[in-house]
A = this chain, B = another copy of it.
Amino acid sequence: MRKIADSTVRRLSLYLRFLEEFAEQGMATISSEELASRGGTTSAQVRKDLSFFGSFGKRGLGYSVPELLVRLREILGLGRSYRVAMIGAGKIGGALAQYRGFRQRGFETVLIYDRDPRIIGTQWNGLRVRDVASLEEDLRREPVDIAVLVTPAEVAQSVTDRLAHLGVKAILNFAPVQLTVPEGVVVKNMNLALELEALSFALTNR
């Protein structure tokens, strides 16, 4: 498939969220303009974003809300569920494992790990925290699609190497480090410090 910009994919996710709202309100069709104004972008942008994947609208009319919902879910690959391993069961890892919206959208945490013997064996959301030492054994038996990294910075890269070696193709990284991964593995970063510093920059420069 032709290369799609990251920014486009992010907007598609937003459109999906808005469409769900519109569908709840029983709206049957929607114009690119309405979708755009809801998301702080332009109608041309909406149409261009969608055009990469086909023509889903009707000229003079707009888009069918239910149809576009289906199409967007398809495009984003949300027609299935994903098995997720949480690596790190500290405060944030645990909180994420319990997060509702996670499972609701088809991302099911099936394994959760930690290194700390005091944490191993405890339960998060009915899921027993396993020793990260058994990562290889476990993932070979029951592979996961996505790993969420919530480890200390120091071990993030070595865990990543192990995950990549086990065939994990997608990593959501909360550790404040720049991960190196082999070709074919995707990483998305959630870097709290980075965003705070961007706010600091914005507050400073004006």
Interface residues of A (CB under 8 A from B): 1, 4, 6, 9-10, 12-14, 16-17, 38-40, 75-78, 82, 90-92, 94-96, 98-99, 101-102, 105, 107, 145-146, 169-172, 176-178, 180, 184, 186, 188, 190-206
User: How far is it, in angstroms, between the C-alpha of A98 and the C-alpha of B95 when the chains are bound?
Assistant: 12
Given contacts A1-B206, A14-B178, A76-B201, contact A92 B96 (CB under 8 A): yes
Q: Is the CB of B146 within 8 A of A192?
A: no
Q: Is the CB of A197 within 8 A of B78?
A: yes
User: How far is it, in angstroms, between the C-alpha of A6 and the C-alpha of B6 when the chains are bound?
Assistant: 14
User: Which of B13, B94, B206 is close to A197, meaning CB atoms less than 8 Å apart?
Assistant: B13
Q: Is the CB of B190 within 8 A of A192?
A: yes
User: How far is it, in angstroms, between the C-alpha of A91 and the C-alpha of B91 when the chains are bound?
Assistant: 8
Which chain B residues lie closer than 8 Å to A184 at the CB level? 206
User: Which of B13, B169, B180 is close to A194, meaning CB atoms less than 8 Å apart?
Assistant: B13
User: How far is it, in angstroms, between the C-alpha of A197 and the C-alpha of B188 when the chains are bound?
Assistant: 10
Q: Is the CB of B38 within 8 A of A178?
A: yes
Q: Is the CB of B197 within 8 A of A170?
A: no
Determine which residue in A99, A101, A180, A202 has the highest number of CB atoms from chain B within 10 A of its CB, and name it.
A202
Q: Is the CB of A91 within 8 A of B82?
A: no
Which chain B residues lie closer than 8 Å to A180 at the CB level? 40
Given contacts A170-B199, A199-B146, A203-B170, contact A194 B10 (CB under 8 A): yes
A11: nearest chain-B partner, CB-CB: B194
Report the minimal beta-carbon distance from A90 to chain B, rounded to whole angstroms.
8
The 6 closest A-B pairs by CB, nearest first: A77-B204, A91-B95, A186-B202, A170-B199, A77-B200, A188-B195
Which chain B residues lie closer than 8 Å to A190 at the CB level? 190, 192, 195
User: Which of B82, B92, B194, B198 is close to A200, meaning CB atoms less than 8 Å apart?
Assistant: B82
Report the minimal beta-carbon distance from A168 to chain B, rounded to whole angstroms.
10
Q: Is the CB of B178 within 8 A of A102?
A: no
